[in-house]
Amino acid sequence: MLKGKVAIVTGGTRGIGLEIVRTFKENNAEVILFGSKKESVEKAINMLKEEGHIVKGYYPNLSNYEEIEKIIKEINNIYGHIDILVNNAGISANKKIEETSSQEFESIMNLNVNAIFNMTKAVVPYMKKQKDGVILNTSSMVSIYGQPSGVGYPASKFAVNGLTKSLARELAPNNIRVNAVAPGITNTDMVASLPKEMIEPLIKTIPLGRIGEPKDIANAFLFLASNMASYITGVVLSVDGAARS
């Protein structure tokens, strides 16, 4: 479904992002994964190599626009085009507001929102030149319903939806589609790090009766990245088993 496409996936070293990388490779894309550290990037590249998937990796500071701009230029020089950007890197939060420092709030916004701005700003000039591109953002079901703690996380994901819908309108004349996927609770390290008392009652309320697997989410990204979604832009696609928390 992605033959000949070049895709960049942030937060591609584990969890949902790693599964997106794997799924895109299974569909014949060239994939470049971004992670936060050299070691985790190398680990993911080696794991994928053992599965028969060759990918390239970088670990830029996603808050640093100049650093990103340089890497995006390098990727474009190597591959000649950049067709798909998946802004997936993200961190969550679960503390009550009185226990959350303003620095903690800022660091969530910095990765979950500002990094999307930086990555998108760096990639758009290449996509505009091609008159073709797909930008996909990882939102969350909390971007629709909020959550009863860790306010920075849902606030950041509401912003992701705002970026998605607004950029879809801004970039549509350039044939660049911008969509988001809003996963429900998904079986990754992010969920493993949250308290059981928070997660277990939520899983019980999911009508499909189970937690999401990274592949459930990656398949939605594959569809939106592919030409099968050629008339879809500005959408936040819920992939959550009808969970309504």
Closest CA to 216 of 233, 237, 201, 244: 237
Rule CB under 6 A: is residue 140 a binding residue for ligand NAD? yes
Identify which of residues 61 and 230 has a Cβ nearer to ligand NAD in the complex: 61
Cα–Cα distance for residue pair 221/240, rounded to 1 Å: 14
Distance in Å, CB of 25 to ligand NAD, minimum: 16
Cα–Cα distance for residue pair 20/22, rounded to 1 Å: 5
| Residue 72: other Cβ atoms inside 10 A | 24
Closest CA to 109 of 121, 91, 82: 91
Rule CB under 6 A: is residue 133 a binding residue for ligand NAD? no
Identify which of residues 4 and 46 has a Cβ nearer to ligand NAD in the complex: 46
Structure tokens at 25: 């490779």
Q: Is 153 a catalytic residue?
A: yes
Choosing from 65, 79, 126, 153, which is the catalytic residue?
153
Give the CA radius of gyration of the chain.
Answer: 17
Structure tokens at 166: 């607004």
Rule CB under 6 A: is residue 76 a binding residue for ligand NAD? no
Q: With beta carbons less than 8 A apart as the criterion, state whether 9 and 32 touch.
A: yes
Rule CB under 6 A: is residue 71 a binding residue for ligand NAD? no
DSSP designation for 175: T
Distance in Å, CB of 84 to ligand NAD, minimum: 16
Q: Which of residues 180-219 bind ligand NAD (CB under 6 A)?
A: 183, 185-186, 188-191
Rule CB under 6 A: is residue 154 a binding residue for ligand NAD? no
Structure tokens at 9: 């996936």
**Interacting residue with ligand NAD among 31, 89, 116, 243 (CB under 6 A):** 89
Q: With beta carbons less than 8 A apart as the criterion, state whether 139 and 182 touch.
A: yes
Rule CB under 6 A: is residue 90 a binding residue for ligand NAD? yes
Cα–Cα distance for residue pair 120/132, rounded to 1 Å: 14
Identify which of residues 109 and 191 has a Cβ nearer to ligand NAD in the complex: 191
Rule CB under 6 A: is residue 88 a binding residue for ligand NAD? yes
Identify which of residues 62 and 75 has a Cβ nearer to ligand NAD in the complex: 62
Residues in contact with ligand NAD by the rule CB under 6 A: 11-17, 35-36, 40, 62, 88-92, 111, 138, 140, 183, 185-186, 188-191
Report, as residue numbers or ranges, the catalytic residues: 153
